Structure 1
Amino acid sequence: MSLDNLSINFATVRQAGSFGAIVDACLRHGITAISPWREHVAEAGLVEAARIVASNGLRVTGHCRGGFFSAADAAGRRAAIEDNRRAIDEAAALSASCLVMVVGGLPKGSRDLSGARQMVEDGFAEILPYARQQGVKLALEPLHPFYAAERACLNTLKQALDLCDKLGEGTGVAIDVYHLWWDPELEEQVARAGRNGQIVAHHICDWLVPTVDPLNDRGMMGDGVIDLGRFRAMIENAGYRGPQEVEIFSHRWQARPVDEVLATIVDRYQTVCQTITGAAAAT
């Protein structure tokens, strides 16, 4: 079975080390799509990272990450804008399909959630013209409500799509199963995103029961309670045929050899995540 639509987010295999080492590990398993993190790009150097991508014919399904617009003062907000401009430059140099945006939570000491959301909207409005100029799509990623205070005050797909509709061209959404599988409006909002061509990334993992650490105890596909086949059918029925990007923050899996992790991912991708469009949705 082809692995063309399987992508590896570097967070899944941090134990492999450098940008080049992670790429080499992916290539050993026939995986040619990646989603790097900025720290790996910075360590390698942007020019070298872009060379590795080009020389190996890699597809960069996303660059992680921009966002974190909310801050306690004007200087902090300005610093966030400038950092996002740098992230856009990196995404453009890597020919990434999108820059994944984790928007930010409450500023330190604040309880004003609506104010934080306004900061997020204002931040997007300021950087979007530059992203359009550079040809970089901004993928808003709503995070599970657990993260509302510290990481992302956009927590449902509807919230993210409402903001995309306000901002317009150059925006879309990253649909991560870990963050959205529970959403009672999921099917309706995925269909809405599909109608408007706003699905630009699809991240997969699983939700374990129990989950002992909401940040670093994500599950390997098939080990938890998310119906990944049905979820993928929903995405495909909405018109998205792009990669499934494996993003597993997990102390358990990052303690294992990288080749074991990647071999398991390939197996689960082929046995758990694949679906014929519409088949799972009909069950």
Structure 2
Amino acid sequence: MSDGPLLKNLSLNQITTEQWNLREAVEGCVRKEIPWISLWRHKIEEIGLAESKRIVTDAGLKVSSLCRGGMFPAATAKERQVKIDDNKRAIEEAAELGTDTLVLVCGPGPDRDIDAARSSVENGIEALVPFAESHGVKLAIEPLHPMYAADRSVIVTLDQANTIAEQYTPQQVGVVVDVFHVWWDPDLYNQITRASGRIHGFHVSDWIVPVPDMFKGRGMMGDGVIEIRRIRKAVEAAGYHGPIEVEIINQSLWDQPGDDVLKKIKESYLKHV
């Protein structure tokens, strides 16, 4: 294998071209010869599951994952059940779209009790495993950067994600390694090794200095400080050789023509991933 990544593994995570609807994103991938796409549920909802599947299938694209499930913690048992039911719909959507990976962004706490919120995450995953397994879908826990603990996920390290995932088989529950969220972790490479055999996704972008926006502040690969290639090689050494999703949430990219963004993605992917 060459030192750089293979284009056959390149996947467009749909949030990177948020300015496009699903059809436009699929057509863009075809024009730019990007073989994989990761779909977001809000984009699927715009046109419906059946039409989304038809568009992707007719284009010959492969779906690397569905974003997202999770968001488990809630203030009441009734609200928690609503979230479980929504996750079951997400599992059904993933299976219908032909991907075996549902990305879990696990959710923030409804109050100041972060330990209870983390217990809710574990309980939520436990409730979903049999349903996901029956549909051939793996649950992939994506730890987020600690700065997102208050509003997006109380699972903020790969160690936490591994600890939950290890309660199950790798075909039931695994992890997503997103460089934007884990690059800072002094135990990162030990945790990647620990996750061997249960890494179900790998996401790339970059950490810009200074971060221009807490949510929409990710950079194109090579524009920041992350050792992306080193992390990619560690993930491969841990047994992951699947699609590499470019997931960049950035308003400046959303303001550009999508084809220009895809051109830059391919260039940066080959140079920096």
Are 1:201 and 2:204 matched, yes or no?
no
1:96 CA drift (Å): 1.1
Structure 1 Cα separation of the partners of residues 67 and 151 of structure 2: 17
Are 1:29 and 2:32 matched, yes or no?
yes
Structure 2 Cα separation of the partners of residues 82 and 236 of structure 1: 34
1:54 CA drift (Å): 1.8
SS in 1 for 2:15: helix
Task: Please say if residues 125 and 167 of structure 1, whose CA atoms lie closer than 8 Å, have aligned partners that are also in contact.
Answer: no
Equivalent residue for 2:222?
A: 222
Structure 2 Cα separation of the partners of residues 138 and 47 of structure 1: 22
Q: What does 1:106-145 align with in structure 2 at a 5 Å threshold?
A: 106-107=109-110, 110-145=111-146
Equivalent residue for 2:182?
A: 180
Structure 2 Cα separation of the partners of residues 230 and 47 of structure 1: 39
Matched residue pairs, number? 268
Structure 1 Cα separation of the partners of residues 246 and 100 of structure 2: 16
Task: Please say if residues 38 and 63 of structure 2, whose CA atoms lie closer than 8 Å, have aligned partners that are also in contact.
Answer: yes
Task: Please say if residues 27 and 59 of structure 2, whose CA atoms lie closer than 8 Å, have aligned partners that are also in contact.
Answer: no
Name whichever structure is richer in strand by fraction. Answer: 2
Equivalent residue for 2:12?
A: 8
1:147 CA drift (Å): 0.9
Task: Please say if residues 217 and 252 of structure 1, whose CA atoms lie closer than 8 Å, have aligned partners that are also in contact.
Answer: no
Are 1:66 and 2:73 matched, yes or no?
no
Structure 1 Cα separation of the partners of residues 51 and 161 of structure 2: 34
Structure 2 Cα separation of the partners of residues 205 and 41 of structure 1: 23
User: Cα RMSD over matched residues?
Assistant: 1.1
Structure 1 Cα separation of the partners of residues 119 and 194 of structure 2: 23
1:13 CA drift (Å): 0.4
Structure 2 Cα separation of the partners of residues 232 and 240 of structure 1: 9
- 2:82 corresponds, among 79, 96, 115, to 79
AA paired with 2:249?
F
Structure 1 Cα separation of the partners of residues 58 and 254 of structure 2: 27
Are 1:257 and 2:257 matched, yes or no?
yes
AA paired with 2:86?
D
Gaps of 5+ in 2: none
- CA deviations 1:228-247 (Å, max 9, x no partner) are 11111111111111111000
Equivalent residue for 1:237?
A: 237
Are 1:161 and 2:162 matched, yes or no?
yes
AA paired with 1:56?
A
Equivalent residue for 1:101?
A: 104
- Name segments (4+ residues, structure 1) moved above 3 Å: none
1:66 CA drift (Å): 0.3
1:167 CA drift (Å): 3.5
1:2 CA drift (Å): 5.2
Are 1:50 and 2:53 matched, yes or no?
yes
Structure 2 Cα separation of the partners of residues 3 and 43 of structure 1: 29
SS in 2 for 1:221: coil
Gaps of 5+ in 1: 274-283
- 1:189 corresponds, among 181, 185, 191, to 191
Identity %: 46
State the TM-score, normalized to the length of structure 1.
Answer: 0.92
Task: Please say if residues 36 and 64 of structure 1, whose CA atoms lie closer than 8 Å, have aligned partners that are also in contact.
Answer: yes
1:212 CA drift (Å): 2.1
1:271 CA drift (Å): 1.2
